[in-house]
Amino acid sequence: MFQGNAVRLQALDNGLVELVLDLQGESVNKLNQLTQDDLQQAVSWLTEHAEEVNGLIISSAKFLFIAGADITEFSSLFDRSHADIEQWLWKTHNTLCALEELPFPTVAAINGVALGGGLETALAADYRILAEDAKIGFPEVTLGICPGWGGSVRLTRLIGVESAMDWLISGKAYPAKVAKSLGLADAVVSSDSLRDEAITFLKDVVAKGDAYKTKREFKYAIQKNDEVWKASIAAVKEQYSKKLSPHYPAPLAILALATSHPTLVFRDALAVEAQCFATLSLTDAAKSLTGLFMNDQVLKRKSKAAAKLAHPVNKAAVLGAGIMGGGIAYQSASTGTPIIMKDIREEALDLGLHTASGIMDKAIQRGRLDEAGKEKVLSNITPSLEYDGFEAVGYVVEAVVENPKIKAAVLSETENHISDIAVLASNTSTISITELAKSLRKPERFCGMHFFNPVHQMQLVEVIRGEQTNEETIATTVAYANAMRKTPIIVNDCPGFLVNRVLFPYFNGFNRLLLDGVGIERIDTVMETFGWPMGPAYLADVIGLDTMVHADQVLQEGYPERMTHDGVVIIEGLLAQGALGQKNGKGFYEYGKDESGKRFKKVAAAAQALIDEQVDTSLEISDADIIARMMIPMCLESVRCLDEGIVESSAEADMGLILGLGFPRFRGGPLRYIDTLGLDVFAEKVRSFGHLGGLYQLPESYQARLDAETRFF
Ligand SMILES: NC(=O)c1ccc[n+]([C@@H]2O[C@H](COP(=O)([O-])OP(=O)(O)OC[C@H]3O[C@@H](n4cnc5c(N)ncnc54)[C@H](O)[C@@H]3O)[C@@H](O)[C@H]2O)c1
């Protein structure tokens, strides 16, 4: 029988054969090239020896069935031609079709997960038995592609277009019981007895003779292209088309795909899907989104390495119960690390607890939490006006007011109350970690732990290494951030760290556009159409104009040669008029409710008047040039951060901006964006705006990259 390095065949009794998925040297099964080749050989063996076989069970020797295709193989695949990609797909199509056409019944026994190519393999079997804790789904859409090995074709025929659309467009993994209710699973059994039950099931099926063939006929059946069908397809298209973003070609293509192929002969439908896959895999969005997956792997590897060196944090403390302190306390408590929340004001403690309660009340309303769960989280937060209990904590995050003197005093006072092995961190947004460390006896056990607002929603935590911070401190911070279900990115200390350092040049570009007479709303609309969740004016209002002005000044001081403003700073003028942004409903926009209670946002007359006072010109500018003038400063600052070692890799720089700022995911991050445009094209654009000053100058390293024809990824 066949014995490969990823797949083997083994004989069971009564002429039954087991195809075991067991990729050697890996903890999980993937449908990588090796597995595809092995699968092809195993199926060939079964075809050639069909006379000797009565039935087949497909099982996994690992804790999951198949995790999906090997995405690390995608980047080289996506550089190939459309025809090459289709040809590559057909190799495995032919294997799965041959598996599907074997002249005996086949049963897939699914444990753990079967995702993407894993589920496609399972759908080629006649029957699927799922372990009760198994999950199955098609995550391809999250990578900017569609299933390529018949997933959309088989799924649509098995569960109908409407349900299939949900699966294919959401990219979610569904639990076994959902699969059973839709008829995708023939039985759901306990995980311990999965293999035995699947064999018993197969024996029953074999005893029923040709009954399994009806399952195949059902899959091969062609949908009549009649009026009823056309109406139902029109309804599905209507339901989804408004929700889908033009920036993400995959969901739109999947909608067109899965509503078109059910009326085709099975093999023709596979061909349509293969063409769709090849087309999508050549899009910039697919390259960016698969790139993000790879970037995420880089972060996971770093977290894994840090976990080995980290000191365990069983209990923590946070100083300050304000917006950030309250959020940090909630996040720590709700993810299982009890935390002391210390403030100097009783009412601040009440407010901190109230904020945590509010977050959980919303979760209760959505059915994601119950009262007992809420009480448990609250019992994990100990409000305090004193340092009681600090000697037993492994980690302290300082989140008091953004004032270097107060912070230095609070940090050095705290150091007297904690053990020698505890780590102390500051959530400062703008103060140098190396400077703050000067007030400490143990600067090596101090670093930055920069959360973003609102803490419970924002995924990123910048872990800032000061000059004296040691590796154990960094590792412990990374591990604690992971325990809080956040994504830590390690950065070296510099003004603005990574995210704000890169964000404020973008705002600087915005200020220059305003001074050139380009309208607030126009800039916001152009940048939102580019893909940002909100334009710069709206974002400034959300951040708060006081915070904006403060951070902007820190960055101007840090990098005067390029970040000093050329002309009046509009946010400073707005702040001087008492506008704080959304906090007080006054900023670039006015916020309020109309007579019918509907929320509105409109350009604030005061902001417009302030700009009009400063501006006596109205530049004719294209949308493309607005985008360029906004994005160039941000992208170049990202390059500088990479050059200076503020972040170690392009992957981390891009992930920081995706997770910390909401950089459009389909563009992959600022460095991927340069790669997509082409380094030479981007350089040309930068040069064309060189007259605008320091923010529009290529760093020296860029020329070296151009000469060496290297890319960021
Ligand atoms: N708000 C944001 O968007 C944001 C985002 C990232 C980082 N940060 C940083 O987080 C820190 C806190 O910001 P915030 O917005 O939560 O401020 P905040 O004003 O809402 O809260 C600060 C809290 O610190 C308390 N406090 C003052 N002195 C104290 C002391 N000696 N001991 C204990 N508590 C004390 C105050 O009573 C107050 O409750 C700042 O360093 C800020 O730069 C803020």
Please write the tens of the pLDDT for every residue from 385-419: 999 999 999 999 999 999 999 999 999 999 999 99
Regarding the beta carbon of 453 and ligand 1, being less than 6 Å apart is answered: yes
Q: Whose CA is nearest to atom 3 of ligand 1?
A: 453
Residue 130 CA to residue 178 CA, distance in Å, equals 11
Determine the average pLDDT of the residues in 424-448.
97
Q: Is the CB of 542 under 6 A from ligand 1?
A: no
Q: Which of 401, 429, 462 to mutate to test the pocket of ligand 1 (most atoms within 8 A of CB)?
A: 401
Q: What is the mean pLDDT of residues 9-31?
A: 97
Residues taking part in catalysis: 450
Mean pLDDT of the chain: 96
pLDDT value at residue 594 = 86
pLDDT in tens, 449-494: 999 999 999 999 999 999 999 999 999 999 999 999 999 999 999 9
Instruction: Name the nearest CA neighbour of 696 among 495, 506, 527.
Output: 506
User: Ligand 1 centre and the CA of 371: distance in Å?
Assistant: 29
pLDDT classification of 27: cutoffs 50, 70, 90: very high
What's the gap in Å between 345 CA and the centre of ligand 1?
12
What would the mean pLDDT of 525-544 be, rounded to a whole number?
Answer: 97
| Helices within 72-226 (DSSP H only) | 74-77, 82-100, 117-123, 151-159, 161-170, 176-181, 194-207, 212-220
C-alpha of residue 528 to centroid of ligand 1, in Å: 31
Residue 485 CA to residue 94 CA, distance in Å, equals 42
Q: Candidates 318, 319, 323, 580: which one to mutate for ligand 1, based on the most atoms within 8 Å of Cβ? A: 323
Q: How far is CA 362 from CA 191, 326, 330, 356, in A?
A: 34, 16, 14, 10
HSE on the CB side for 2, CA within 13 Å?
26
For 678-689, write each residue's pLDDT tens digit.
999 999 999 999
CB 212 within 8 A of CB 205: yes
Structure tokens given for 14:
């009564």
- Per residue in 654-666, pLDDT (tens digit) is 999 999 999 999 9
Cis peptide before 454, with omega less than 30 degrees from 0? yes
Residue 448 CB less than 6 A away from ligand 1 = no
Nearest Cα to Cα of residue 654 among 633, 682, 674: 674
Tokens of 610: 């302030």
- Decide if 536 contacts 506 (C-beta within 8 A): yes
Q: Cα(428) to centroid of ligand 1, in Å?
A: 9
CA 402 – ligand 1 centroid, Å: 6
Our mutation pick for probing the ligand 1 site, out of 343, 406, 412, 555, counting the most ligand atoms within 8 A of Cβ, is 343
Closest atom of ligand 1 relative to the 321 alpha carbon: 39
Backbone phi and psi for residue 319, each to the nearest 5 degrees, phi listed first: -100, 120
38 Cβ below 6 A of ligand 1: no
Look at residue 512 in the predicted model and tell me its pLDDT.
Answer: 96
Determine the average pLDDT of the residues in 494-505: 98
The finding on whether 660 has its CB within 6 A of some atom of ligand 1 is no
- Point out the ligand 1 atom lying closest to the alpha carbon of residue 407: 31
589-629: per-residue pLDDT in tens? 999 888 898 988 999 999 999 999 999 888 999 999 999 99
Helix (H, G, I), strand (E, B) or coil at 19: strand
Cβ–ligand 1 distance for 429 under 6 Å, the answer yes
Q: Does the predicted TM-score (pTM) go above 0.85?
A: yes
Using only C-alpha atoms, the chain has a radius of gyration, in whole angstroms, of 29
The residue whose CA is least distant from atom 25 of ligand 1 is 320
With a 6 A CB cut-off, is 348 part of the ligand 1 pocket? yes
CB of 345 within 8 A of CB of 300? no
Residue 16 has a pLDDT of 97
Query: Is residue 323 within 6 Å of ligand 1 at its C-beta?
Result: yes
**Unique residue bearing structure tokens 């600090």:** 390
Cβ of 380 less than 6 Å from ligand 1: no
β-pairing, 446-451 vs 460-465, is antiparallel
Amino acid letter, residue 189: V
Q: pLDDT tens for residues 92-125?
A: 999 999 999 999 999 999 999 999 999 999 999 9
Please say if the pLDDT value at position 546 is more than 90: yes
| Nearest CA-CA partner of 280 in 254, 262, 243 | 254
What is the pLDDT confidence band of residue 236, given thresholds at 50, 70 and 90? confident
225 pLDDT band (50/70/90 cuts)?
A: confident
**Percent of the chain whose predicted confidence (pLDDT) is above 70:** 100
Structural contact between residues 662 and 527, judged by C-beta atoms closer than 8 angstroms? no
Query: What whole-number distance in Å separates Cα of residue 49 and Cα of residue 102?
Result: 10
- Residues 6+ away with beta carbon under 8 Å from 270: 93, 97, 150, 153
pLDDT band at 277 (very low <50, low <70, confident <90, very high): very high
pLDDT value of residue 616: 85
- Whether 581 lines ligand 1, by a CB cut-off of 6 Å, is no
Q: Give the mean model confidence (pLDDT) for residues 280-293.
A: 96
Nearest-atom number in ligand 1 for the CA of 323 is 16
Residue 566, pLDDT score: 86
Would you call 85 helix, strand, or coil by DSSP?
A: helix
Q: Helix, strand, or coil here: 131? A: strand
113 lines ligand 1 (CB under 6 A): no
Residue 340 beta carbon below 6 angstroms from any ligand 1 atom:
no
Checking if the pLDDT of 19 tops 90, the result is yes
Write the Ramachandran bin of 171: left for phi over 0, alpha for psi from -120 to 50, otherwise beta: left
Q: Distance between CA 483 and CA 506 in Å, rounded? A: 32
Residue carrying the six token digits 């889908």: 244
Give percent above pLDDT 90 in the chain.
Answer: 93
Taking CA atoms only, the protein residue closest to ligand 1 atom 12 is: 399
Coil vs helix vs strand at 654: helix
pLDDT at 229 over 90: no
Give pLDDT, residue 607.
96
Three-class SS of residue 142? helix
pLDDT digits (tens, 9 = 90+) for 149-201: 999 999 999 999 989 999 999 999 999 999 999 999 999 999 999 999 999 99
Yes or no: say if 539 and 581 are a contact pair by the CB < 8 Å rule: no
Give the atom of ligand 1 at the shortest distance from the alpha carbon of 324. 16
Following DSSP, what letter does each residue of 669-680 receive, concatenated? SHHHHHHHH-HH
309 lines ligand 1 (CB under 6 A): no
- Pull the structure tokens for residue 400: 């008091």
Kindly report the protein residue whose alpha carbon is nearest to atom 4 of ligand 1: 453
Alpha-carbon span 305 to 481, nearest angstrom: 14
Distance CA 572, CA 568 (A): 8
Q: Do you find a cis peptide bond into 246, omega within 30 degrees of 0?
A: no
CB atoms < 10 A from the CB of 160, how many?
Answer: 16
Q: How far is the CA of 168 from the centre of ligand 1 (A)?
A: 43
CA distance 682 to 624: 13
> Ligand 1: distance of its center to the CA of 544 in Å?
14
Ligand 1 nearest-atom number relative to CA 430: 43
Which amino acid makes up residue 607? A
Question: Beta 395-398 vs 316-319: how paired, if at all?
Answer: parallel
Summarised one tens digit per residue, pLDDT across range 134-143 is: 999 999 999 9
